Amino acid sequence: MPQIQNFCIFAAILALTGPVSTGFAQDPAAKPESTDPKLVQEKLRQWVDVKKTISAEKADWEAKKTTLADLNELRKQEIGNIDELIEAAGSRLADAEKRRVELLTEEEELRAWRADFQKTVDALETRIVQLARRFPPPLTEKLDDALARLHTTEEETPLQNRFRDLVAILAEAGNFQNTITVDTDLREIDGKQIEVDVLYLGLTQAFFVDRAGKNAGIGHPGDDGWTWQPVNRLAGEIRQAIAVQRKESPPAFVELPIGKEAG
């Protein structure tokens, strides 16, 4: 802009002095011609216009410089914001990658744990199927649905469902083991089906007696189910023990043989 201003001033001066210089150049001995006032006035007006133009252009340039400076500052801020966003995005990407690795590790650990857990469930199912042969009939009847599912377990059966059945079976078996249970059943005695009352001492031993109190027996579990042998001599004691358990008689001490040699 200073170069433009100097050029305009120089042009204005030439415009004012041009006619006078030209007159002297034509005839050095001639007298200088008088300057026309209108011409001088016109030159002055032009010079003023040039000054105004220069001032306007200078003001416009200053305004543009301010605007450009503001735009430049805004651009710097935007660049700074973009840098922050890029840094934040990079940080989030790093966190996401770290979390992805953690999740993959957890998934592998869960897969390994599930494989081990499935082996445990498979082993328990096999063992319980074997033990279920020794369950007393009342317990087997109570667990009929769960035991049936053990025998028909398919690969697509959810592992949690299989484990739930195992827990239910073990819980019921534990409860039965810790209680004395009285049940009714049919026994073939002398070729006849006779209704008897059965006294189960947990999972390991039981006694039965008919309603007449004449026929009695003792039973033990085996791999092929329960086996029974007659012990008619204990009919009275067994009937008394059942009556006490049913609260049909006052509490009393009843002596019964325990163990496989009881018969």
Q: What is the pTM of this model?
A: 0.62
Residues in the chain: 263
d(CA 228, CA 220): 7
% of the chain beyond a pLDDT of 90: 54
Read off the pLDDT of residues 38-48 as tens digits, 9 standing for 90 and up.
Answer: 888 888 888 88
Residue 65 has pLDDT above 70, yes or no: yes
% of the chain beyond a pLDDT of 70: 84
Q: What is the pLDDT of residue 262?
A: 59
Q: Which residues of 218-239 are buried (b: 16+ CB within 10 A; e: fewer)?
A: bbbbeeeebebeebeebbebbb
Total Cβ atoms within 10 A of residue 166 = 18
Read off the pLDDT of residues 198-250 as tens digits, 9 standing for 90 and up.
Answer: 999 999 999 999 999 999 999 999 999 999 999 999 999 999 999 999 999 99
DSSP 183: E
53 membership: H or E segment, kind and range: helix 37-132
